[in-house]
Structure 1
């Protein structure tokens, strides 16, 4: 797991930010200037996918190191 944290930690952060931005863009989470904006409904899933890719890369690197 030592070699995978530089991928997993940013991946989790990007994934969470992407999820929040997606929910705000889809007007599920309200109370922000981002709520209901299609821009954030588009950027959010992109960040979410990038975060998931980083997590997968980190897990694969961890398994190969064993």
Structure 2
């Protein structure tokens, strides 16, 4: 079970960050975040943090890691 929490949090961060990015860039309508550039930047940062968490979780799941 090692690494599952990190993988779950990482995946959630990537998905949420991607959503915030497309909302911030104005590609999705109907939200208070739509077409607000700071949310696009926050989304990109969250995606990068999520990718780091996924990498960290994969290392923890590796035998001997």
> Given the two structures, how large is their TM-score scaled by the length of structure 2?
0.92
Structure 2 segments unaligned to the other structure (5+ residues): none
Structure 2 residue aligned with 1:28? 27
Task: Give the Cα–Cα distance (whole angstroms) in 2 for the partners of residues 17 and 10 of structure 1.
Answer: 10
Give the number of aligned pairs.
65
Query: Which deviations, in whole Å up to 9, do the C-alpha atoms of 1:6-42 show, x marking residues without a partner?
Result: 2000101111100000000010111111000011011
Structure 1 residue runs of 4+, over 3 Å off? none
Cα RMSD for the two superposed structures: 1.3
Structure 1 segments unaligned to the other structure (5+ residues): none
Task: Give the Cα–Cα distance (whole angstroms) in 1 for the partners of residues 25 and 49 of structure 2.
Answer: 19
